[in-house]
């Protein structure tokens, strides 16, 4: 039997990998391949934090393959040219991969499939990264959903396949010769200036790390997920997003693990926390549904009237710089932005707070925030990033209305009531009394002095006044609405 190439992309796992399973079922040698094709990503090549994760994820995948007696062939450049070359050198007659749904990647993959088929290769793609493929879900009119609740209600009526285990003998046969491979470090994915120093203490990329994190979450935190998920001062979320993004665990595996908690055969386990958690998996599905059907949204608002929104001017980028560095003077905002820089991740409740602050307090374009998140998040996913930012800006599908403006002090008091999250990520405020931790500018001078805080020096004064910023944002929205109706 001739070899089959399995083209790994954002499916860096061996278990529940439909393309790999199909190659194993076909029989014959399997040639696992990864190609760094940055041009094929279109306008959204990987950001720095994603590149860090990919380096370690590929290293972990290579180790897993070697444990099975195989290896990972690594190449860079044009995907079609690389695959054709590897097929020619190994005698492979089949190339299998799992589908992605970003607009530029869909276009690239369509061309690759046609090109490989033209060479006489069996080029096939499979569904492996979502529970429900975007083109398979439609509303009653046959179009895409734009509101989450009916979308998810519809999805829950559809079957979810069980994860497929990979047989022990999948790599029993080896190709007669292995093609040349680039050592993973030569892909230059790691930063030259080591801003990633804190990542390794938080993250363990790879399929094994994903399985460990899922098991820990399901056994310890899922029961309280509905209660604790909005608390950044607690370990109440799964933190699975980067592993899901790079496919080191599949949504079917997550679904099955949570369903296994159920004592009956219902759709959801009896745990209310499990139901809320699976609904969050649904939001990931919804994000990809929207990106597939509205491919312009990473650059343009779904609600086109927001193209005329009166964003504020920021000469020299001072306001944007204060936001990115966590120097806005609002502790909960600054804590989130510093957590992001230090770990490549930010708690989801805080993501909403910092996003609202950028687009409504500073009134800067949502695209600026989306670009910063894209570069600094280890879980930077084009679909989820776009949905989240357009939701916060009020310009996307099922979005929060623009006039819903998060008050950062109230958000801090509600979701970080003891100030533990702020104290961890804004250590210059660690000595502040709890009653002043989220609004240090309201504290008396003696209180500030006792905490070792000098506003404007050791910690910045607020870059904007909340009440005035809120009024300006509402006025801008009112003007937009009047213009749209006129």
pLDDT in tens, 459-483: 999 999 999 999 999 999 999 988 7
Where among 234, 260, 293 does a domain terminate? 293
Q: Do 283 and 311 sit in the same domain of this protein?
A: no
What is the chain's percent helix, strand, coil content, to nearest 5? Answer: 50, 5, 45
Q: Is the pLDDT at 358 greater than 70, yes or no?
A: yes
Q: Is residue 174 part of a domain?
A: no
**Do residues 351 and 309 share a domain?**
yes
Is 195 part of a structural domain of the chain? no
Domain with 155, as residue range(s), is: 130-162+208-293
Looking at the structure, tell me whether residues 357 and 461 fall in a common domain: yes
pLDDT at 426 > cutoff 70: yes
For the chain, what is the mean pLDDT? 94
* β partners of residue 33: 7, 73
Is residue 444 situated within a structural domain? yes
Are 355 and 271 part of one and the same domain? no
pTM of the model: 0.96
What amino acid positions are annotated as catalytic residues? 280, 283, 311, 348, 366, 389
Binned at pLDDT 50, 70 and 90, residue 486 comes out as: low
Same-domain status, 24 and 68: yes
Of 109, 128, 147, which residue is a domain's last?
A: 128
Per-residue model confidence as pLDDT tens digits over 269-284: 456 889 999 999 999 9
Residues 386 and 333 in one domain: yes
Residue 315 corresponds to which tokens in the numbers above? Answer: 């000469």
The answer to whether position 189 is within a domain reads no
CATH number of residue 45's parent domain: 3.40.50.620
Is the residue at 71 inside a domain?
A: yes
Same domain assignment for residues 78 and 100 = yes
State whether 337 and 461 are in the same domain.
yes
Q: What is the pLDDT of residues 379-402, one digit of tens each?
A: 999 999 999 999 999 999 876 677
pLDDT band at 1 (very low <50, low <70, confident <90, very high): confident
CATH code of the domain containing 361: 1.10.579.10
Lowest-pLDDT range, 117-126, 303-312, 430-439?
A: 303-312
Task: Find out whether 460 and 322 touch, Cβ atoms under 8 Å.
Answer: yes
In a domain, 336, yes or no: yes
In a domain, 458, yes or no: yes
Q: Please provide the distance, in angstroms rounded to a whole number, between the alpha carbons at the two ends of the chain.
A: 69
Residues 369 and 464 in one domain: yes
pLDDT given at position 271: 66
Short-list 187, 211, 196, 194, CA closest to 55: 187
**CA–CA gap between residue 229 and residue 231 (Å, rounded):** 6
- Domain boundary among the residues 231, 265, 293 is at 293
Verify that 359 and 241 share a domain, yes or no.
no
**Residue keyed to tokens 């600054």:** 334
- Hey, is 259 helix, strand or coil? helix
Q: How confident is the model at residue 62 (pLDDT cuts 50, 70, 90)?
A: very high
* Torsion sign, CA atoms 375, 387, 12, 347: positive
Q: What is the CATH number of the domain that holds 275?
A: 1.25.40.80
- pLDDT for the residue 396: 92
In a domain, 270, yes or no: yes
Looking at the structure, do residues 440 and 362 belong to the same domain, yes or no?
yes
Structure token digits, residue 133: 């493929």
Number of domain units in the chain? 3
Same domain? 409 vs 474 = yes
Instruction: Give the dihedral of Cα atoms 287, 290, 296, 302; nearest 10 deg.
Output: -100
Q: DSSP H helical segments within 119-224, as ranges?
A: 148-155, 207-220
Q: Return the pLDDT at 403.
A: 77
Helix residue ranges, H only, 75-168: 79-90, 103-118, 148-155
Sheet with 73-76, edge to edge strand ranges: 73-76, 30-36, 4-8, 94-98, 122-126
Q: 455 forms bridges with which residues in the sheet? A: 459
The answer, yes or no, to whether residue 267 has pLDDT greater than 50, is: no
Q: pLDDT tens across 19-48, in order?
A: 999 999 999 999 999 999 999 999 999 999
Cα–Cα dist 72/59, whole Å:
9
């Amino acid at each position: 039997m001739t070899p089959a190439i399995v083209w790994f992309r954002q499916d860096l796992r061996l278990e529940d990998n439909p393309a790999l399973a199909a190659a194993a079922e076909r029989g014959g040698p399997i040639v696992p391949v990864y190609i760094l094709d940055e041009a094929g990503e279109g306008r959204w090549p990987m950001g720095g934090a994603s590149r860090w994760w990919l380096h370690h994820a590929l290293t972990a995948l290579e180790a897993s393959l070697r444990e099975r007696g195989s290896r990972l062939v690594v190449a860079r450049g044009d995907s079609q040219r690389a695959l054709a070359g590897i097929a020619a050198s190994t005698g492979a007659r089949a190339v299998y991969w799992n589908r992605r749904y970003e607009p530029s990647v869909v276009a690239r993959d369509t061309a690759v499939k046609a090109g490989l088929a033209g060479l006489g290769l069996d080029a096939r793609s499979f569904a492996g990264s979502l529970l429900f493929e975007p083109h398979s879900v439609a509303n009653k009119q046959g179009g895409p959903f734009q509101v989450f609740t009916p979308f998810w209600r519809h999805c829950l009526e559809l079957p979810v396949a069980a994860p497929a285990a990979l047989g022990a003998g999948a790599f029993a046969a080896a190709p007669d010769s292995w093609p040349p491979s680039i050592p993973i470090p030569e892909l230059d994915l790691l930063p030259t200036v080591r801003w990633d120093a804190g990542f390794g203490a938080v993250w363990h990329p790879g399929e094994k790390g994903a399985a460990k994190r899922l098991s820990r979450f399901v056994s310890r935190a899922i029961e309280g997920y509905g209660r604790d998920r909005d608390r950044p001062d607690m370990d109440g979320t799964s933190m699975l997003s980067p592993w899901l993004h790079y496919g080191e665990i599949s949504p079917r595996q997550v679904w099955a693990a949570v369903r296994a908690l159920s004592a009956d055969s219902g759709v959801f386990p009896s745990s209310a926390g499990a139901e809320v958690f699976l609904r969050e998996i649904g939001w990931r599905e919804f994000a990809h549904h929207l990106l597939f059907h509205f491919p312009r949204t990473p650059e343009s608002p779904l609600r086109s009237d927001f193209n005329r929104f009166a964003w504020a001017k920021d000469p020299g980028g001072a306001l944007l710089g204060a936001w990115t560095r966590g120097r806005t003077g609002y502790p909960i905002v600054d804590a989130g932005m510093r957590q992001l820089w230090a770990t490549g991740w930010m708690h989801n409740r805080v993501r909403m707070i910092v996003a609202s602050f950028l687009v409504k307090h500073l009134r800067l374009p949502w695209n600026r925030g989306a670009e910063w998140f894209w570069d600094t998040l280890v879980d930077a996913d084009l679909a989820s990033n776009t949905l989240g930012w357009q939701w916060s800006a009020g310009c996307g599908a099922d979005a929060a209305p623009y006039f819903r403006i998060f008050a950062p002090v109230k958000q801090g008091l509600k979701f970080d009531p003891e100030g533990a999250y702020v104290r961890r990520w804004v250590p210059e405020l660690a000595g502040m009394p709890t009653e002043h931790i989220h609004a240090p500018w309201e504290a008396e001078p003696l209180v500030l002095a006792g905490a070792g805080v000098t506003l404007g020096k050791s910690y910045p004064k607020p870059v904007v006044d909340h009440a005035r910023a809120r009024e300006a944002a509402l006025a801008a929205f009112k003007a937009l609405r009047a213009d749209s109706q006129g």
